[in-house]
Amino acid sequence: REVRLNPEAVQSEYELLKSFSGSEDTCCLETINWTLDYQFSNGCHAPPWRQVHGDISYIDIKPLDGDAFCVIASTSGFFITGKDSNGELSYECEGDVYPTLAALLKKKSVHFADTIDKKEFSYYGTLNQKDQLERTKDETSYMNENETQVDGTADDKDRSAQKKKKGAKGRTLEPSQKWKNIGFGGDLVEEDESSKDTRQSTRLKGDIDDDFSESSSESEEEEESQDRRQESNADLPSEYWQIQKLVKYLKGGNQTATIIALCAMRDFNLTQETCQLAIRDVGGLEVLINLLETEEIKCKIGSLKILKEISRNTLIRKAIADLGGLQTMVNIVQSMNKELKCLAAETIAHVAKFRRARRTVRQYGGIRKLVSLLDCGLLSGASDIDVAVARSGALALWSCSKSTKNKKAIRKAGGIPLLARLLKSKNEAMLIPVVGTLQECASEQTYRLAIRTEGMVEDLVNNLKSENQELQRHCASAIFKCAEDEDTRNLVRQYGGLDPLVSLLTNIENKELLAAATGAIWKCSISVENVTRFQELKAIEQLVALLTDQPEEVLINVVGALGECAQMLANRTAIRKAGGIPSLVNLLTSTNQALLVNVTKAVGACATEPDNMAIIDRLDGVRLLWSLLKSTNPRVQASAAWAICPCIENAKDAGEMVRSFVGGLELIVSLLKSNDQEVLASVCAAIANIAKDEENLAVITDHGVVPMLAKLASTKEDRLRQYLAESIARCCMWGNNRVAFGKEGAVPPLVGYLKSPSQDVHRATARALYQLSRDPDNCISMHDSGVVQPLMKMVGSQDDVLQEASAGCLKNIRKLALANEKAKYH
């Protein structure tokens, strides 16, 4: 059998011989050391640029009876190498190649051979009994494999076993028990030199798995090692051995034999993992990839057809990437042969399922080359092979487009207009990868803009009406991402896309399609006009029916859509009548953060209706919302706080309800320490509602709400300014809070809010200033901050609340001024 070494075998024999080295005459060697001490993650001591040539390690050896020399351990065996004029290793083989280091040393050193024959030597190892037994089994197994010719069939294995048994009986020389205990194998036994030379000449190449051509990540190594353990313990089918034989023909045959072997290999079921791994385990992947660099078109086509099938396996994909197969395939994409282009792109599509492979494709210019495949001219006049090439290019780009940098590379290479042209095709096999690529890229704003401006929205809507569910799913996913933009949402409605989206809700068995459809409905429902159409299509009732027994991916979208639709009164009523309120409240106990954000919004929207609020209160929904304020996710905290606001506004006895939550008021005040602007705005809004009840206002005052609100007054965010001013206005209603706000320096920043362009900020600020102006010191502070001029303008506002609050604040300032004037003369 041909020998193919691996790092583990080299390491094992090195350590064994190291234990027999020393200066005494009873030792086998004087010294043995690694030339390069550093060990790479794959176990090699050779640098990566030599590993690609098969080198594993370099070993410096000094026998007791000769000069030192250097041995190269490669995948083909052990051999001695010399040095060049600069004293560097020449890496050239000097003499024969040996299957084991011991066999080489026995030939090179007379002392080494005599010591073994005499069986008198010193052992300096530290192996315990368990390690000795394991080492004995491993080494004996390894040596026996090197001594025995093994073929792929069961009959061959039986014959070789019988030969081995006969050979064992005929031997007269046996190693001592001490030698056996440390695991040294049978190749050290003296044998006929001529037969050994013949046997050594056949041990140059082999079939053992070569898995160290390039270091891989820890997770990949674990995956590979687990796979090998499973294979070693399994009863491998006959196909495994037959494929191994075919790989041997691929390695050593001529062109005709190679093509025949490729054809024979394709007759196997290459979708089976056993067949896929059989090719990998005997070095077949290296051969198949090497064939891609030949000039023979038939060999390339045959190799790519096999690689295309087996690259569906995760382990094979990574192995192809490690062996540099992607670079070769990227070059083939520019071939003049269209069948080659097609096969190479489809194989790239399979391999580029993980990040490193996608990066490799981009770094070797693969994105630009793949984009060029999309240009098949006018679809009406394109030949079948041109369409197939374009489809394969779209498949490859689909896999590559999962990377953000690749999305940019596709756009820069001019991929968008080509994809837009292919989107008008009637060929579903073409449309699926094209739409798949677009929906992946639609996460980028530039692509969403291009999809809208290039007229692709209409094509996506039209393909929603297809009978192919996979195509429908990708179209719905693309609309889901693109509908973030208002113009796109309007286009979807104008092209009649809302009706087919609602019709897709009946596909309850296909969860992926259901998730895509509900996602598109959710985003489209952000526009009021679209909600009106959904209302006409009775979509609300269908969405409510999907609130139970669905995966989280579907629930997130369903609840998000209901939350948007519930902004309209009629839909809030429809949700209640369809029995949706209890289902929504039940979802408040979920642990999915995205789902919690959406369900709190939906519950809050429904709570604006008194009848709905009664159901929420009865189901203890407000308590569940309050408990979500303890979440570590700011988005959940903010959404829960916003939902609490309408609950307090519409509950029958809101003050008592809030007080019944033990520690609830202290919790919500503590959230004013958050660094998230949305959390702060929502909590301020909730405090403004809580403070309507005097008892609750007294409690939150005791918890230090005044200085915490005053500390936030310097914010520049208008959204926060509005609700902060509202909460300050409410909190001024208790005790000396007005005075406290003034002492905390809240008045001057509030005056600055009047410069904001937001009318809502003006209204809330005027109310806060009106309440604060009831304290004389605050009036002085306002006057000094220049409040009079902006308030004079706001007195003429069309907003009654703003007008009244501004006038009231000016009245209090004027009354103080008059009182001061009067005090001067009396």
Among 122, 140, 156, the domain boundary falls at 122
Predicted local confidence at residue 251, as pLDDT: 77
In the beta sheet, which residues pair with residue 57?
Answer: 73
Does 127 have pLDDT greater than 70?
Answer: no
Predicted local confidence at residue 501, as pLDDT: 96
Give residue for tokens 């809580």: 690
**One-letter identity of residue 168:** A
Predicted local confidence at residue 283, as pLDDT: 86
Nearest to 36 by CA among 10, 75, 4: 10
Predicted local confidence at residue 141, as pLDDT: 42
Predicted local confidence at residue 683, as pLDDT: 97
Token readout for 312 is 């569906």
Among 89, 122, 155, the domain boundary falls at 122
Residue ranges of the alpha helices (H) in 311-455? 314-322, 325-332, 338-351, 355-363, 366-373, 384-400, 404-412, 415-422, 428-441, 445-453
Render pLDDT for 574-617 as a digit per residue (tens, 0 to 9). 999 999 999 999 999 999 999 999 999 999 999 999 999 999 99
Render pLDDT for 616-630 as a digit per residue (tens, 0 to 9). 999 999 999 999 999
What mean pLDDT do residues 680-708 have? 95
CATH number at residue 792: 1.25.10.10
With cut-offs at 50, 70 and 90, classify the pLDDT of residue 167. very low
Render pLDDT for 637-679 as a digit per residue (tens, 0 to 9). 999 999 999 999 998 888 899 998 889 999 999 999 999 999 9
Distance from chain centroid for Cα 518:
23
Four-residue CA torsion sign, 105, 111, 112, 118: positive
523, 483 Cβ separation under 8 angstroms: yes
What mean pLDDT do residues 205-226 have? 34
What mean pLDDT do residues 169-179 have? 40
Nearest to 781 by CA among 818, 749, 734: 749
Phi, psi of 207 (to 5 degrees): -120, 5
Residues in CB range of 547: below 8 A, 6 or more apart: 555, 558, 559, 562, 580, 583, 584, 587
Q: Tell me, yes or no, whether 205 lies in a domain.
A: no
Burial class (CB in 10 A: 0-12, 13-18, 19+), 162: exposed
**One-letter identity of residue 681:** A
CATH number at residue 86: 3.30.2280
With cut-offs at 50, 70 and 90, classify the pLDDT of residue 136. very low
Q: Tell me, yes or no, whether 419 lies in a domain.
A: no
Nearest to 344 by CA among 333, 354, 336: 333
With cut-offs at 50, 70 and 90, classify the pLDDT of residue 236. confident
Predicted local confidence at residue 826, as pLDDT: 58
Most confident of 143-152, 580-589, 783-792: 580-589
Give residue for tokens 């234990």: 19
Q: Tell me, yes or no, whether 29 lies in a domain.
A: yes
Residues in CB range of 221: below 8 A, 6 or more apart: 41
Residues in CB range of 58: below 8 A, 6 or more apart: 34, 35, 36, 45, 46, 70, 71, 72, 73, 81, 89
> Concatenated DSSP letters for 295-343?
S-HHHHHHHHHHHHHHTTSHHHHHHHHHTTHHHHHHHHTT-S-HHHHHH
Mean pLDDT, the chain, as a whole number?
Answer: 84
Burial class (CB in 10 A: 0-12, 13-18, 19+), 128: exposed
Domain that holds residue 109: 7-122
Give the three-state DSSP class for 77.
Answer: strand
Among 79, 94, 122, the domain boundary falls at 122
Predicted local confidence at residue 309, as pLDDT: 94
With cut-offs at 50, 70 and 90, classify the pLDDT of residue 257. confident
Predicted local confidence at residue 505, as pLDDT: 95
What mean pLDDT do residues 784-808 have? 90
Can you tell me the distance from the alpha carbon of 591 to that of 595, in angstroms, rounded to the nearest whole number?
A: 8
Q: Tell me, yes or no, whether 277 lies in a domain.
A: no
Dihedral angle of Cα 438, 442, 446, 452, to the nearest 10 degrees: 70
Does 418 have pLDDT greater than 70?
Answer: yes
Predicted local confidence at residue 668, as pLDDT: 95
Can you tell me the distance from the alpha carbon of 779 to that of 261, in angstroms, rounded to the nearest whole number?
A: 96
Predicted local confidence at residue 495, as pLDDT: 95
Render pLDDT for 364-381 as a digit per residue (tens, 0 to 9). 999 999 999 999 877 777
First to last CA, the chain: 122
Token readout for 554 is 């579907």
Can you tell me the distance from the alpha carbon of 733 to that of 741, in angstroms, rounded to the nearest whole number?
A: 12
Comparing 114 with 692, which gets the higher pLDDT?
692
21 φψ region: left (φ > 0), alpha (ψ -120 to 50), beta (else): beta
What's the number of domains the chain is made of?
2
Can you tell me the distance from the alpha carbon of 644 to that of 22, in angstroms, rounded to the nearest whole number?
A: 81
Residues in CB range of 758: below 8 A, 6 or more apart: 718, 721, 722
Comparing 561 with 49, which gets the higher pLDDT?
561
Query: Which of 83-87, 100-104, 317-321, 575-579 is least confident?
Result: 83-87
Residue ranges of the alpha helices (H) in 651-758? 654-659, 664-670, 677-690, 694-702, 705-711, 718-731, 737-743, 747-752
80, 104 Cβ separation under 8 angstroms: yes
628, 636 Cβ separation under 8 angstroms: yes
What mean pLDDT do residues 95-105 have? 89
Render pLDDT for 769-787 as a digit per residue (tens, 0 to 9). 999 999 999 999 999 999 8
Can you tell me the distance from the alpha carbon of 176 to that of 413, in angstroms, rounded to the nearest whole number?
A: 71
Q: Tell me, yes or no, whether 39 lies in a domain.
A: yes
Residues in CB range of 578: below 8 A, 6 or more apart: 540, 541, 544, 545
Q: Tell me, yes or no, whether 147 lies in a domain.
A: no
Does 221 have pLDDT greater than 80?
Answer: no
With cut-offs at 50, 70 and 90, classify the pLDDT of residue 185. very low
Give residue for tokens 């929504």: 584
Burial class (CB in 10 A: 0-12, 13-18, 19+), 25: exposed
Query: Which of 36-40, 348-352, 514-518 is least confident?
Result: 36-40
Helix (H) or strand (E) segment spanning residue 74:
strand 69-74
Does 472 have pLDDT greater than 60?
Answer: yes
Please indicate, yes or no, whether the overall pTM of this predicted structure exceeds 0.95: no
Token readout for 38 is 């550093």
Can you tell me the distance from the alpha carbon of 727 to that of 389, in angstroms, rounded to the nearest whole number?
A: 64
Can you tell me the distance from the alpha carbon of 646 to that of 299, in angstroms, rounded to the nearest whole number?
A: 72
201, 144 Cβ separation under 8 angstroms: no
Q: Tell me, yes or no, whether 90 lies in a domain.
A: yes
Give residue for tokens 């080359």: 369
With cut-offs at 50, 70 and 90, classify the pLDDT of residue 565. very high
Render pLDDT for 264-278 as a digit per residue (tens, 0 to 9). 999 988 988 888 888
Q: Tell me, yes or no, whether 418 lies in a domain.
A: no
